[in-house]
Every structure is written in C-alpha cells, then in structure tokens.
C-alpha cells in the first residue's frame, strides 16, 4: 500500500480491544447523495447481532458535510464501535479501502459498497465459515434491490451489469477465482502482507465517463492472495447483501460502456496473470458465461411472438454486451 496520508479529521466511538474483534467492516464514500444509503447500511449492520465482535470504519473523501452526517448517525448507535475518517482527496476506492484496512483491528476485514444492505445472516455466515475453514477470503451473493422500477426483462445472465451476482447460481460453499468487491472479507494479516489493493486499479470515478475502467482491484487482489498463500477464496451463500439499483441508469449506452470496460479489464488481468500457478485460465469464470448468454438469443426469438418487447430487450442487450466486451478486449491500452 503506497498511500500514507494524514487524515484531516477523525472521529471514534467506544473502541474495543483488538483481541475482542473478529471483523472490521470498511466502507468508503464520497458523495452526499449516498447519505441515505449509508444510514440504511449502518442499520443493517446493527441487525447482525454479536456487535461486540465487530467494528465499523468509514472513510469519507471530499465531502466534509457527509463526514459530519455520518458522525451524527453513528453517534446514535451506542452498541457499535465506529471510526470515521475524512480526507480532502484520496484518489480512488482502492486507496480509501487500504486506509481503512490500516486503521482496522479485526482478524478479518470486510469491504462492502456504500449502497448495499447486509442480509441478517451476513455476519453469522462469516463467523461460522472462518472458524471452521482455513481460508484467506470469502465472498457472497449480491442481489439487486430495485428502486422505483424493476427491470423484469433483465435475465440473470446479464445481472452483473447492475452489480449483482445472480448470474452465479450457486447455493453451496464453493471455491471461486475471486471475491467480489462490493461484498467480500479478507484475513487482515494476509491482506497487509500483499500490501492490500493495487491503488491504480479499481474505480477512480464512479460516473464512468470513460470507455474503460482500470483493471478490477478485487480480481487482482484475490489472484495475488491465492498465489502467495495457496488458500482458497470461498463463496458463502449466506454471506449475502442486497445492492441498490437505479433502473434508469440501465440504458443502451450504459450497457455498451460497462461491457467494453469489462472486456478491457479482463484483458488486462489475463495479460498480468497468465503465468500464475493457479489452475485454469484467469478468464475461466467469464468464458463460462458466454455460452449461457448466446443461448438467450434462440430462446428469446422463440418467445418473441408472445413477448415481443421482452424478447427485443434481451436480444439487443446480449448483442450489445457481447460486441462491446469483445471490442474492449481488443483495446491495446495497458495499465
């Protein structure tokens, strides 16, 4: 981890000793528009039970007003040990998460997005698994939580477009290539040993105004951890969250841009990790999804007479996603 910034402001409440803590939950945010989302997230943390075994660390970038708001909200939750840090500028989510990890005191560090809600069995599932398996990291489902309008036509094979893992239809403990960054936990000692997230990777601008994002920080971290320590990343069905989705953002332009970016990201990962000791291709997870998306085309065509609008949405979306993912994979830019 290269960032070593002095925080401008820090607030803490009811700090427990390090020996008590199994888990540190790290959340980063930079926009006042996420104030309500953060409150919902904090409320879901308080419903986990065993609050004496966890702490919450919130990293606020740029928005001093959001820092003050988060302090007020967490000050009302007396049962939860919390730390809030404010920085005028960090420069990306990976750097902010690394700062939270350095501040953490739990044996494991959980990283979740600021617009998710933890399901009630989230912490209990983590606790059972880390106490019974020799693992380095866990991840779990992220289900879409639609806003005013649900996109009923969106098939699960395309759910990754909106930050959902519904496409990964698995209901048992399973070893996976990587943890998903919006809902993951890592053993703290190993996380620090590999210097955390690569700070030039991951989102630096959530508005996604460019046609390519930096390589995925969660995939990069997972591959480095597994290669270094030889322990698996485990998918835990009960370690689940609901991820808020604004249906109006799922436009044709959004899908094309997101698919192009994914193609570019995975090409970068393939080039960087093609010689890793891990079995299989670094892109095996994505390649397994391509045939399933292709099968949607004849299925949708067959249903077109009865559901023309739904079929048109699915067919056009699959074509756009596959085309732009391929174009992104051909992009010769490198990080």
- pLDDT tens-place string over residues 47-82: 998 898 999 999 998 888 999 999 999 998 878 899
The pLDDT of residue 204 is: 67
Burial of residue 99 (CB within 10 Å: 0-12, 13-18, 19+) is buried
CA pair distance 268, 272, nearest whole angstrom = 6
Confidence of residue 6 (pLDDT cuts 50, 70, 90): low
Burial of residue 213 (CB within 10 Å: 0-12, 13-18, 19+) is buried
Confidence of residue 17 (pLDDT cuts 50, 70, 90): low
Mean pLDDT lowest among 15-19, 103-107, 279-283: 279-283
Domains of the chain and CATH, by start: 9-248 (3.90.550.10)
What average pLDDT does the segment 241-258 reach? 86
Mean pLDDT lowest among 108-122, 155-169, 194-208: 194-208
Span 123-160, pLDDT tens digits: 999 999 999 989 899 999 999 998 877 787 889 999 99
What average pLDDT does the segment 109-123 reach? 97
The answer to whether 231 and 191 are in contact (CB under 8 A) is no
- The average confidence (pLDDT) of the chain is 87
CA pair distance 245, 258, nearest whole angstrom = 15
The answer to whether residue 7 scores a pLDDT higher than 60 is: no
Confidence of residue 283 (pLDDT cuts 50, 70, 90): low
The answer to whether residue 304 scores a pLDDT higher than 80 is: yes
Give the DSSP letter string of 280-302. S-TTHHHHHHHHHHHHHHHHHHH
> CA separation (Å) from 125 to 128, 171, 187, 283?
5, 13, 15, 28
- Tokens read off for 26: 């790290």
What average pLDDT does the segment 23-31 reach? 95
Pick the residue with more confidence: 155 or 17?
155
Per-residue DSSP letter, 180: B
The pLDDT of residue 95 is: 93
Burial of residue 54 (CB within 10 Å: 0-12, 13-18, 19+) is buried
H-helix or E-strand spanning residue 308: helix 308-330
The pLDDT of residue 59 is: 96
The fraction of the chain above a pLDDT of 70, given in percent, is 89
What average pLDDT does the segment 31-40 reach? 93
The pLDDT of residue 70 is: 95
Confidence of residue 117 (pLDDT cuts 50, 70, 90): very high
Pairing of strands 241-245, 233-235: unpaired
Confidence of residue 2 (pLDDT cuts 50, 70, 90): very low
pTM of this structure: 0.91
């Amino acid at each position: 981890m290269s960032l070593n910034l002095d925080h401008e402001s820090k607030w803490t409440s009811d700090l427990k000793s390090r020996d008590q803590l199994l888990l540190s939950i790290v959340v980063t945010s930079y926009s006042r528009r996420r104030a309500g989302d953060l409150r919902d997230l904090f409320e879901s943390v308080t419903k986990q039970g065993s609050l004496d075994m966890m702490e919450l660390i919130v990293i606020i970038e740029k928005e001093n007003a959001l820092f003050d708001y988060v302090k007020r909200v967490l000050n009302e939750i007396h049962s939860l040990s919390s730390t809030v840090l404010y920085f005028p500028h960090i420069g990306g989510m990976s750097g902010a998460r690394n700062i939270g990890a350095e501040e953490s005191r739990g044996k494991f560090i959980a990283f979740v997005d600021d617009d998710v809600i933890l399901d009630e069995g989230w912490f209990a599932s983590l606790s059972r698994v880390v106490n019974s398996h020799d693992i380095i990291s866990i991840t779990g489902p992220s289900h879409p939580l639609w806003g005013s309008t649900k996109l009923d036509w969106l098939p699960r094979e395309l759910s990754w477009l909106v930050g959902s893992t519904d496409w990964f239809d698995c209901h048992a403990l399973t070893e996976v290539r990587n943890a998903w960054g919006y809902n993951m936990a890592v053993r703290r000692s190993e996380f620090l040993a590999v210097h955390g997230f690569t700070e030039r990777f991951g989102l630096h601008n959530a508005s996604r105004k460019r046609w390519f994002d930096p390589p995925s920080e969660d995939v990069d971290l997972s591959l480095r951890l597994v290669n270094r320590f030889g322990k698996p990343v485990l998918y835990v069905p009960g370690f689940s969250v609901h991820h808020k989705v604004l249906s109006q953002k799922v436009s044709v332009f959004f899908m094309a841009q997101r698919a192009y970016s994914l193609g570019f990201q995975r090409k970068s990962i393939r080039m960087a990790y093609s010689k890793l000791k891990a079995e299989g291709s670094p892109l095996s997870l994505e390649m397994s999804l391509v045939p399933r998306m292709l099968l949607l085309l004849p299925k949708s065509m067959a249903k077109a007479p009865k559901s023309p609008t739904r079929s048109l949405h699915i067919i056009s979306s699959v074509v756009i996603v596959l085309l732009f993912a391929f174009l992104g994979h051909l992009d010769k830019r490198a990080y």
